[in-house]
Amino acid sequence: MRDQVRAMPIHILDTLTGKKREFVPLEPGKVRFYACGPTVYDHAHVGHARSYVVWDVVIRHLRARGYEVKYVRNFTDVDDKIIRRASERGEDPIALADRFARAYDEDMDALGNLRPDVAPRVSDHIPQIVTLIEKLLAKGFAYAPGNGDVYYEVRKFPEYGRLSKRNVDDLMSGARVEPGEAKRDPLDFALWKGAKPGEPAWDSPWGKGRPGWHIECSAMTEEHLGATIDLHGGGKDLVFPHHTNEIAQSVAALGDGVHAEGFARTWMHHGFVEIDSEKMSKSLGNFFTIREVLARFDAEAMRVFLLNTHYRNPVNYSDVELGQAERRLVYLYETLEKVDRLAQGVTAAEGGGDDLVERSRAALDDDFNTAMVLGILADAFTAANALADRKGKKTPEDKAELARFARDARLVGRELGILQRGPAQALLSLRDRAAARRGLDQALVARRIAERAEARLAKDFARSDAIRAELLELGVALMDGPQGTSWKVE
Ligand SMILES: [Zn+2]
């Protein structure tokens, strides 16, 4: 297994160094992976879907390559936005966050994402957070001005800002001190916030209060993965200040206090989901929840749509794009259904030919190029269709080749989290969604198909053709086969 891992190194573009480098985990064969999780005060939107589908494929691929991965993704359940939303609704903030954390898990399950191995919550890690802040105070990287707050002193950390390629003076120009803050320097950030009335608060050496946003990830990575982790993921919007501050905290408290690479050995950041070239976000109000989208479109189609773009590039969301991804998925399952039928009971060919699985994995080895994998799959499906549709009887070699294609396409699909359903069942479910979006009356379609069968029996071909034309007008295409007539949405 170890030899396999060494044989095919994975290269990842690391945000900190700005270089695409061979990924070398601290301990051979093991990966400690941390992704910043959602702040749970509302339903997850398509931006979250992208984020966690990307990490899902990273995890799946590392595992397929033989790595033992521990995947930790937190829930931020203590936060200004949660407190505000809870007070608007007269609800307890932790209870509100718990409700949305559960809803979030349901959405991720619906998208087909593997659950993380640990999903820690801030409210369960207050002692670890307090201990970490005490370390920062003891080492002189933090100060407690006596008003109940504790701040990190940014100028004490020499490589502050390296992740975002900006120095402290550049960053300073955008920083300001809010009223009531006792910072020495506008760039300093809160590690602990003294309690305000009506907010959740915990005891600490600095009085009752709650953690700042950034410290939770440093505390939870240490608790569940150790002082140094192999891979840290997040959206590009987290580079500054969140990840910049995570590095400052973790390196100061647990590392040498100097070098930014002492925390995460590799940093991955994905691009945004955009609508009309603007980032989809709750604060901009231009977002769709995952629930809204999955009520109309297939979850697997959503994955195809999201993975068709390299993770670092922006994705432009639209119903048209999602509809196209769904039609593409229909084609993939139609092909699998046809190939399965032709290759039923046949042993897959071995050796020779084009290795679909290895080529796809090589594309993922190169900074997780999922778009390229979908392209490789598209070519393989075209070739499989050509072979399946070729006139004349299939030779045993043809059938073995088709069996190999069906097996390998599913192996590749597994790494993208697609093509794992039975084709017939998937096609039926995809047809139902397309029919619902068109507002088709499925009972009427069934009635017309029965009438047409009667007409054909009575050799009334004019009537039969008229029914076919009428249905086509509604977007319904009929297919006559040995088991009768089936239909699909055109
Ligand atoms: Zn984080």
CA of 238 to the centre of ligand 1 (A): 8
Half-sphere exposure of 448 (CA within 13 A, CB side): 23
Q: What is the pLDDT of residues 188-238, one digit of tens each?
A: 999 999 999 989 999 999 999 999 999 999 999 999 999 999 999 999 999
CA of 12 to the centre of ligand 1 (A): 20
The pLDDT of residue 6: 47
* pLDDT of 281 higher than 90: no
Judge whether 74 lies within some domain: yes
68-73 and 30-35 as β-strands: parallel, antiparallel, unpaired?
A: parallel
Nearest to 369 by CA among 326, 296, 311: 311
User: Could you identify the residue written with the tokens 């008229």?
Assistant: 466
Task: Give the mean pLDDT of 320-333.
Answer: 96
Give the structural domain span for 464. 440-489
* pLDDT of 277 higher than 80: no
Half-sphere exposure of 336 (CA within 13 A, CB side): 25
CA of 226 to the centre of ligand 1 (A): 15
CA of 232 to the centre of ligand 1 (A): 9
Tell me which of 126-130, 160-164, 280-284, 322-326 is least confident: 280-284
Do 408 and 348 have their domain in common?
yes
Give Cα 14 to chain centroid, integer Å.
18
Do 401 and 469 have their domain in common?
no
The pLDDT of residue 378: 98
The pLDDT of residue 353: 65
User: Which SS3 state, helix, strand or coil, does residue 70 take?
Assistant: strand
The pLDDT of residue 111: 98
Do 40 and 153 have their domain in common?
yes
Do 335 and 469 have their domain in common?
no
* pLDDT of 161 higher than 80: yes
Do 233 and 376 have their domain in common?
no
CA of 122 to the centre of ligand 1 (A): 11
* pLDDT of 7 higher than 70: no
Judge whether 375 lies within some domain: yes
Judge whether 349 lies within some domain: yes
Q: What is the pLDDT of residues 107-153, one digit of tens each?
A: 999 999 999 999 999 999 999 999 999 999 999 999 999 999 999 99
Do 406 and 447 have their domain in common?
no
Do 389 and 445 have their domain in common?
no
Do 247 and 342 have their domain in common?
no
225/481: higher pLDDT: 225
Judge whether 231 lies within some domain: yes
Domains: count for the chain: 3
CA of 223 to the centre of ligand 1 (A): 14
Could you please report the per-residue DSSP string of 184-228? SSTT-EEEEEE--TTS--B--TTSSEEE-TTHHHHHHHHHHH-SS
Cα–Cα distance measured from residue 448 to residue 471, given in angstroms and rounded to the nearest whole number: 8
CA of 323 to the centre of ligand 1 (A): 33
% pLDDT > 90, the chain: 88
The pLDDT of residue 5: 44
Could you please report the per-residue DSSP string of 335-399? HHHHHHHHTTTPPPP-SSS--HHHHHHHHHHBT--HHHHHHHHHHHHHHHHHHHH-SSPPPHHHH
Task: Give the mean pLDDT of 469-475.
Answer: 95
CA of 133 to the centre of ligand 1 (A): 16
Cα–Cα distance measured from residue 308 to residue 180, given in angstroms and rounded to the nearest whole number: 47
Nearest to 245 by CA among 191, 209, 173: 191
Cα–Cα distance measured from residue 346 to residue 340, given in angstroms and rounded to the nearest whole number: 9
**For all residues of the chain together, what is the average pLDDT?**
94
The two structure tokens encoding residue 106: 């349901």
Judge whether 32 lies within some domain: yes
CA of 336 to the centre of ligand 1 (A): 41
CA of 121 to the centre of ligand 1 (A): 12
- Per-residue CA distances from 70 to 67, 231, 232, 251 (Å): 10, 10, 12, 21
Could you please report the per-residue DSSP string of 129-145? HHHHHHHHHHTTSEE--
CA of 390 to the centre of ligand 1 (A): 54
The pLDDT of residue 176: 74
Q: What is the pLDDT of residues 236-247, one digit of tens each?
A: 999 999 999 999
Nearest to 332 by CA among 235, 409, 247, 238: 409
% pLDDT > 70, the chain: 97
CA of 474 to the centre of ligand 1 (A): 50
Do 339 and 249 have their domain in common?
no
Cα–Cα distance measured from residue 2 to residue 374, given in angstroms and rounded to the nearest whole number: 28
Task: Give the mean pLDDT of 356-382.
Answer: 97
Judge whether 288 lies within some domain: no
CA of 76 to the centre of ligand 1 (A): 9
Give the residue from 399, 425, 451 where a domain finishes. Answer: 425
Ligand 1 (single-atom ion) residues, CB below 5 Å: 36, 217
CA of 51 to the centre of ligand 1 (A): 13
Do 251 and 346 have their domain in common?
no
Do 122 and 208 have their domain in common?
yes
Task: Give the mean pLDDT of 321-346.
Answer: 96
CA of 431 to the centre of ligand 1 (A): 40
CA of 476 to the centre of ligand 1 (A): 48
Judge whether 301 lies within some domain: no
Do 267 and 409 have their domain in common?
no
Nearest to 76 by CA among 199, 212, 202: 212
Judge whether 321 lies within some domain: no
Nearest to 121 by CA among 99, 101, 96, 106: 101
CA of 369 to the centre of ligand 1 (A): 24
CA of 35 to the centre of ligand 1 (A): 7
The pLDDT of residue 279: 77
The two structure tokens encoding residue 293: 């989208």
CA of 138 to the centre of ligand 1 (A): 23
CA of 55 to the centre of ligand 1 (A): 14
* pLDDT of 354 higher than 50: yes
Task: Give the mean pLDDT of 325-352.
Answer: 94
The pLDDT of residue 407: 96
The pLDDT of residue 228: 96
CA of 181 to the centre of ligand 1 (A): 23
Name the percent of the chain in helix, strand, coil, to the closest 5: 50, 15, 35
| CATH assignment at residue 344 | 1.20.120
